[in-house]
């Protein structure tokens, strides 16, 4: 009789542990799917590297965004030069007569805007990103 009771307690404990692990796995999966930072990825800011940007995902790009922005790497570049540096944009828009290219980025803890815009002056065709120029402000925007 004691053996049956011990066996039943062991079975119930195993079920509880299995259910707890499944619940934990489900919560982790939902969190990652909903955009929480991925603990296995490195979000540390890095120097801009054109090849890494072109071949990277939104997290790789996000680690280089600050360097690209602060150094004004894109300032005055033509569309062809921007494509050489960053690749084709994830999305192209026209805003108030300006071409605006959007590149997806993910920057941990900085903002909830998922795209880095590059605007082109309609007169000169030259790029600027993340600053005010001729009354138009280019900033991180939602798609």
pLDDT in tens, 96-123: 888 989 898 888 765 556 788 898 988 8
CB 71 within 8 A of CB 48: yes
Interval 38-50: pLDDT, tens: 677 888 889 999 9
Query: What pLDDT is recorded for position 143?
Result: 47
Q: What is the DSSP letter of 134?
A: T
Q: Which residues pair with 94 in a beta bridge?
A: 99
For 82, counting Cβ atoms within 10 Å of its Cβ (0-12 exposed, 13-18 middle, 19+ buried), the class is buried
**Which residues, including other chains, have CB under 8 Å from residue 67's CB and lie 6 or more apart?**
45, 46, 47, 48, 73
pTM of the predicted protein model: 0.67
Q: Which residues pair with 119 in a beta bridge?
A: 100, 128
Query: What pLDDT is recorded for position 141?
Result: 46
Q: What are phi and psi of 124, to 5 degrees?
A: -100, -20
Q: Which of 33-37, 61-65, 78-82 has the highest mean pLDDT?
A: 78-82
């Amino acid at each position: 009789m004691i053996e049956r009771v011990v066996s039943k307690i062991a079975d119930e404990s195993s079920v509880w542990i299995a259910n707890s692990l499944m619940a934990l796995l489900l919560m982790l999966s939902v969190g990652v799917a909903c955009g929480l930072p991925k603990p296995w990825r490195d979000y540390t800011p890095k120097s801009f590297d054109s090849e890494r940007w072109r071949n990277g995902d939104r997290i790789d790009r996000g680690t280089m965004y600050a360097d690209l922005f602060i150094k004004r790497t894109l300032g005055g570049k033509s569309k062809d030069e921007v494509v050489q540096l960053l690749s084709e944009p994830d999305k192209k828009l026209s805003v108030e007569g300006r071409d605006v290219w959007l590149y997806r980025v993910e920057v941990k803890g900085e903002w909830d805007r998922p795209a880095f815009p590059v605007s082109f002056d309609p007169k000169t065709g030259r790029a600027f990103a993340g600053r005010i120029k001729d009354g138009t402000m280019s900033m991180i925007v939602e798609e």
